[in-house]
Amino acid sequence: MTENAWTRWPSPEALGRNGLSRPRRLLSGGIRALVLGMLLWSVFHNKHVHGWGIAFAVVGIAVTGVLARAFWRTTLQHRLMSSLLLVVPLLGMAVLAQSTGFEGPALVLWCGCAISALERMPMGAALPVASVALASFAAVNNDVPLTTAATVTGMALAGYVLRLDAEARGGAQRLLAQERAARAAEAESAALAERARIAREIHDVLAHSLSAQMVHLEAARLLIERGADRDQILERVVAARGMARDGLAETRQALSALRGELTPLEDFLSELVSAAGGAEVTVTGERPQLSAEASQAVRRVAQEALTNVRKHAPGAKVRIRLDYREHEVTLNVRDSGGAAGELGTSGGGYGLLGMRERAELLGGSLDAGPDEEGFVVTLKVPV
């Protein structure tokens, strides 16, 4: 054994009663009741003790029980000196019992002290206590030497086995507590991630919609103050109403995504291009099981790309390609016209920068830039 093994206490989980099954609790209580019954029986059936002697013997048994319970508590609290100070009177009670003719209780006390010390104390202190107790037992035992040696060895092994069993139970209790803590941390982390996802959805939808409405309404207010004609003012109000309608529709889509009620991506793209005036949509591969976050990212990027086409390349031909692969989904939106500089510097829609951040949070990527014809947006999201 190392120095640490000699001075190390059994864990509080090993010394306590937490984690004990009901059968083991009943067995432990039964053994205590049996020992107490045997001690009382030996007192009342001792032919050499009468009257006040029986009363003193019963008091001695009660004092022994109090000392044993105190020893159990001090070892549970890892208080070495207090435990040793309680073992000494217990051994003294055994010597007193032996000297007054109570050989049975004396043997029980010596064996109990030895087993309890080996089970509940550091080995550096348990071995001397157990040696004294078992040596006293062997000295007064009337059996043949071989039987006495076997009994002493059995008692020592019993105490050590109980120690190992208690340590195993304590280790299981600690692992269970760690697992519960890990599950609680995992649940808290999942809740925080879900809150962050909801916050991103609300920001992406409401921030864009409300800010665009404010721009149009502020423009309408300025036109009214300047005395502009009715058509100019109406144009701004109608634009604000359109933004509110689009924002409401996108809010409903976001709520559906949060509930996990999303339509298949190919159906969504078909509806999107129909509302946008038509585009060529190509879908390849077999549709995998996508998370709500990944599916929503693809939808938002498609919306943003088509919004940019309408603003900066009206009338341009748009081709959308959705590729389902084994480990990722790729969305490619390509238009045939529009100035790359205008598109690259505009802040329209939800913003390609925000979509790139969303893709990177999912472990994917988003690339946007001009090509030979117009502008290309490519999103890759892992499955």
Residue by residue, DSSP assigns 30-86 as HHHHHHHHHHHHHHHT-TT--THHHHHHHHHHHHHHHHHHHHHHHHHTT-HHHHHHH
Q: In terms of Cα–Cα distance, which of 341, 330, 336 is closest to 369?
A: 341
129 occurs within a structural domain: yes
Domain count, the chain: 2
Q: Are 155 and 115 in contact (CB under 8 A)?
A: yes
Give the residue from 102, 122, 142 where a domain finishes.
Answer: 142
Give which of 240, 210, 211, 206 is closest to 223, Cα–Cα: 240
User: What pLDDT does residue 244 have?
Assistant: 81
Higher pLDDT, 228 or 58: 228
| Residue 134 within a domain | yes
Query: Region 351-370: what's the mean pLDDT?
Result: 82
- Is 164 a domain residue? no
The answer to whether residue 202 sits within a structural domain is no
Which range (56-60, 116-120, 185-189) has the least confidence?
A: 56-60
Q: Among the three residues 116, 142, 168, which one is the final residue of a domain in this structure?
A: 142
**Partners of residue 328 on adjacent β-strands:** 382
Residue 201: pLDDT band (50, 70, 90) is low
Domain boundary among 142, 161, 194: 142
Q: What percent of the chain has pLDDT over 70?
A: 79
Task: Give pLDDT, residue 349.
Answer: 43
Q: What is the tens place of the pLDDT at every residue in 259-272?
A: 665 677 888 788 77
Owning domain of residue 127: 3-142
Cα 194 to Cα 139, 201, 208, 236, 383, distances in angstroms: 72, 11, 21, 37, 19
Is the pLDDT score of 372 beyond 80?
Answer: no
Domain assignment present for residue 366? The answer is yes
Distance CA(313)–CA(311), nearest Å, equals 6
pLDDT at 345: 40
Residue 51 has pLDDT above 60, yes or no: no
Reply yes or no on whether the pLDDT at 232 is more than 80.
yes
For residues 33-45, give the mean pLDDT: 64
Residue 343's CATH number: 3.30.565.10
**Encoding tokens for residue 313?**
């390349």
**Which of 43-52, 138-147, 199-208 has the highest mean predicted lDDT (pLDDT)?**
138-147
Over residues 292-324, the pLDDT tens digits come to: 778 888 888 888 888 778 777 777 888 899 999
**Residue 59 belongs to a domain:** yes
Helix (H) or strand (E) holding 263: none
Q: Is the pLDDT at 233 greater than 70, yes or no?
A: yes
pLDDT (mean) for 151-168: 86
Q: What are phi and psi of 325, to 5 degrees?
A: -120, 180
Indicate if the pLDDT at residue 2 is higher than 70. no
pLDDT at 342 > cutoff 50: no
**In a domain? residue 311:** yes
- Structure confidence at residue 343 (pLDDT): 36
Assess contact for 29 and 189: CB atoms under 8 A.
no
Q: Is residue 251 part of a domain?
A: no
Note the pLDDT of residue 346. Answer: 39
Distance CA 293, CA 267 (A): 17
